Structure 1
């Protein structure tokens, strides 16, 4: 099977290495000795669709460690990091929890995470770019759990009814736009695409496809002031203006994905994590499939990212927490994730089982996307500028501010935030 390309991993590594060069304090691991008695570890995750696989992983760990019980706690992603920040500040964060690239450095630099270098995590078992992503100040704090890319899901029934050919490799932005228009039926309340204000799923990809970048490789300069970034944003705002997508207000009132799930939108870009959810959804399971992203002026690049399992440095059971974080990202756990079609596991050599788990879908497109993938944009304090990004772009998506004007404002505000990180 295709492996993560040197180009994709090199980009991830460069992005991570640049921000890791910034100075920060080391974390303290506290007591590392095993408690010896019965232990309950809380495990915080954000995806209900992945809970069954996490339960299987927990059961496998409990079988090997009969004195340990894993309590899985699911918080929707929208509230996850707000809740985590509050819990971490108050000293009540879960013993083991999911982490992502944009938030990792803040937690690692504030001493909230226990290093996993001595927990049995072998860096050679994972794509180097993900190891770099979860390394801070020379120590590994996150065990790579999975990775994800983005592709184009489509409703075959709506395509067939409109007489439009299915998306395929080599599809261009022009093909995408034309299909969206042809699949739109105002009388039926049907749209060609949901042009949502989603970064990872939509405009981070299109900006790269236009030849631009959201942030420089060293994490110090905004890329939003470029013509390429403007083209990547206008791909989506033009679709809304043309009526081929629900309006920003409609996508605020109703989750954009719900339009797709209810058959009111024909195309929806989504990450590889969506495969199991769609396969389990009786309403759409047999009527959807997935294709590569359409090609822009410079290609059809997808953003690549990955979740990491981390251990709470302040846990009362640090040794057990570190052991479970390592196990939940190990080979046995990876096989569980792959064979159930849950996510693409990060553990090398286990990804093909994920593709094979849901043969009704062309999931190979997610693996193939690694060849030209670009890193998820991060900096030392990513949330400082993504909040600005969300606020400014919401005005652009609504039509209250022209894209060119909005991106000029965004570039200036984001640069100020990035400059503040260097002080």
Structure 2
């Protein structure tokens, strides 16, 4: 028997709180306690706050009598207080939604269908980068989010390190890989890896147990999606996460292509080319490893461009992901959206605010900041111009979209449960050398979630 919506929300809130190490108390004020003419809006990225404050000023000018109140919270606090707010009735009118949380919120029934609001039902998907709008439709066909930005994956590198190794930018953009011998990508990693005695990974006498600079930085094991770890490799084999593009009911972690790729990828750590599992921590992310000289390359998302560009003493470069066995490169295409809560205190105003957030009027402002790539095409162009003005060539990210070599973030029910199963399973492979065949057992457990209804 299916539990009530309120019980399911409480369960979800408890799970999020446990994962974040937080308690469900002291919820931030949401839309329920605001004046009737106020629209409350939550986001987590402090870097984007100034841009959205400018958007709010523009919106208020076009909508006399309406005021936008923006609340910015850190990532963990954000999701804990948002979910708790659904219980207490203190949720905001509008919030920045993440695709990894989207399916769960649809299942809980806490999102407002935007095609039922006058201000948002006529939004034209054609103004966005292809594929973004489709990700925010539920299994019932309703739209629950309007795209706000998008991201892809690339290789970041320290030009000083690569130049010292005699490696050109062109070489880094022409790499290929395969799960048998790693292709030119693995050869590159070996060459860029240097042990404590100054011996490179492709030279005689290399000591894999005492490495000074790893070819590739560690960024944890990737959990269920491996977005910034292994997804570019598994995606370039033709493998897909599930049996359907969106809202699948069967996962494919038992597929030979997936397991062969994971075996090769984490096998790089055994060879000394990939930093070990223990190298990664919240305070020692891949960008820190690159900046400190502990790693030559780092796989990461476009939302991290500014962070890498600000590393002291580092001239950062960005290169395309390697071409895979299919003859093509690949990158996950992810994106955020703005959603209206089902019980928004000011639903009419919320709809108008979301429509404004989804328009070029706001997204062009966001693009001019050069922090993310807005979903609207004109906003993307402004972001590229802003990055270029700072001397940053971001074409490795945009080319994936132009070449149509992207694939979508997996969108299914039970996302939190799937992550809870896959995260330790993947860490066991990376950290402890567990055979990839153990992922077949994990895949059976995931499929049981769908068979048993969670």
The unaligned stretches of length 5 or more in structure 1 are: 1-23, 26-34
Q: Aligned runs of 1:319-398 on 2, under 5 Å?
A: 319-359=348-388, 360-370=391-401, 371-398=404-431
* Distance across 2 between alignment mates of 1:42 and 1:237: 44
1:203 has 2:236 as partner: no
- C-alpha distance 262-108 of structure 1, shift in aligned 2 (>3 A): same
TM-score by length of 1: 0.84
Match of 1:155 in 2: 158
| d(CA) in 2 for partners of 1:79, 1:194 | 28
Task: Decide whether the 8 Å contact of 1:206 with 1:235 is kept in 2.
Answer: no
Aligned partner of 1:17 in structure 2 is: none
CA distance in 1: counterparts of 2:34 and 2:290, whole angstroms: 50
Q: 2:57 aligns with which of 46, 56, 59?
A: 59
TM-score (norm 2): 0.78
What is the aligned length? 387
SS of equivalent to 1:214: coil
Q: Displacement of 1:110 after TM fit?
A: 2.8
Comparing 374-383 and 81-90, the one that deviates more? 81-90
- The alignment partner of 1:310 has SS state of strand
Unaligned runs of 5+ in 2: 6-32, 178-182, 197-210
Counterpart secondary structure, 1:252: coil
2:315 to 266, 287, 294: 287
- Structure 1 residues 216 and 78, CA, compared in 2 at 3 Å: closer, same or farther? farther
1:127 CA drift (Å): 4.2
Q: Equivalent residue for 1:216?
A: 243
Q: From the superposition, tell whether residues 290 and 85 of structure 1 become closer, same or farther in structure 2 (CA, over 3 Å).
A: same
Q: What is the rounded CA distance, in whole Å, between the counterparts of 1:328 and 1:243 in structure 2?
A: 46
Tell me what 1:192 maps to.
215
Tell me the equivalent position of 1:241. 270
**Number of the residue aligned with 2:187:** 178
Give how far 1:79 is off: 4.8
State whether residues 207 and 231 of structure 1, in contact with CA within 8 Å, keep that contact through their aligned partners in structure 2. Answer: no
- SS of 1:71's partner is strand
- Check conservation: 1:115, 1:140, Cα contact below 8 A: yes
User: CA deviation digits over 1:203-253, x for unaligned, max 9?
Assistant: 222111123222222512221111210122124312211122321122136
Structure 2 Cα separation of the partners of residues 88 and 37 of structure 1: 19
Checking the alignment, whether the CA contact within 8 Å between 2:144 and 2:339 is kept in structure 1 is yes
Residue 228 of structure 2 aligns to a residue whose secondary structure is: helix
Structure scoring higher RCO (CA < 8 A, sep ≥ 6) equals 1
RMSD: 2.6
Structure with larger Rg: 2
Other structure's SS at 1:315 match: coil
Moved more, 167-176 or 228-237: 167-176
Residue of structure 1 in register with 2:206 after alignment: none
Q: Which of the numbers 325, 338, 345 marks the counterpart of 1:297?
A: 325
Which portions of structure 1, spanning 4 or more consecutive aligned residues, are displaced by more than 6 angstroms?
Answer: 35-38
Shift of 1:62: 2.8
User: What is the deviation of 1:78?
Assistant: 4.4
